[in-house]
Every structure is written in structure tokens, then in C-alpha cells.
Amino acid sequence: MAYGDLVSRVNFDMGRNSPFSYACHACNRCCRNKAIRVSPYEILRLARYLGISTTQFIENHTEAGGTVLQTKENGDCGFLGERGCSVHPDRPLACRIYPLARWVSPDGEESFGLSDAASQHRRALWYFGDGAGLSRSPATWAIL
């Protein structure tokens, strides 16, 4: 997969407490054509979930030197199956916070923005808090 500069296409204009709403329709868009970066902690969690060593996990399920989850030839995440995500309980943070993208500056300031793929479908799936009781913030979305 060619990763390109995906971050440059996101407008990181939201803070941890910015209101937004999103309804998941299980379309699996979050599992397609993404470079899902994984931290050492996420590698450990995923390896334990799969019952393998971290070395085996890195060899069999990552690319880009063990920093990105492996994708299939069609661009799907290697863990996307017929019934959705096969590692859903221990999925990486990038998956947990979709449709948001997260940026941490060198100074440690955190900001969020709408991921590029989600912005193409903004009218159908994404809207800012509308007072209907569905409003969340990036800080509360990640724990779902």
C-alpha cells in the first residue's frame, strides 16, 4: 500500500471536547484503504488476543517495519472478515476513533479532525452535535 501523506488531507480543527455526532451503519468503510498505524502496546494487545507472540504478530500481520497493519490486495484491513472486524475487542485506537483522525503535535497538543474517507460521506454519516442527545466529543468517542 502506498501511504502518501494522509494526515495533510485532514483539517485538525477539533479539540478533545468539541461536540460531534456519528452513527455507525456497519458499512466497514473504516476498514478499507487505510494505513492503520499500530503502537507497541496495540501490537501486544492484538498478539495476546490472537494467542501468538508479538514477533509472530509483527511478521504475519504488519508491514512498513511493523508499524502498520497489513492490508489485503484489495485494500481491506487484514482483519476484515465476512462478519466485520475479527479483532474488534482489541482493535487499534485509529479504528476505535473512526471517523476521527488524531494528531499530537511535537509539543504534546492533541487535536482531531474528520478523516479523509469520512469527509467524502459527511452528509450521510457525520454531523456536528445537533441537540438531539447524540452529541459526543472525541474524548468520549474513543472509549466506545
20-38 burial by CB neighbour count: b if 16+ within 10 A, else e? bbbeeeeeebbbeebbbbb
Per residue in 38-91, pLDDT (tens digit) is 999 999 999 999 999 999 999 999 999 999 999 999 999 999 999 899 999 999
Q: What is the mean pLDDT of the chain?
A: 81
Q: What is the pTM of this model?
A: 0.75
Per residue in 95-139, pLDDT (tens digit) is 888 888 888 889 999 888 887 555 544 444 444 444 444 566 777
CB atoms within 10 A of CB 96: 14
What's the one-letter identity of residue 113?
G
**Contacts (Cβ under 8 Å, ≥6 apart) of 107:** none
Bond prior to 99 in cis (omega within 30° of 0):
yes
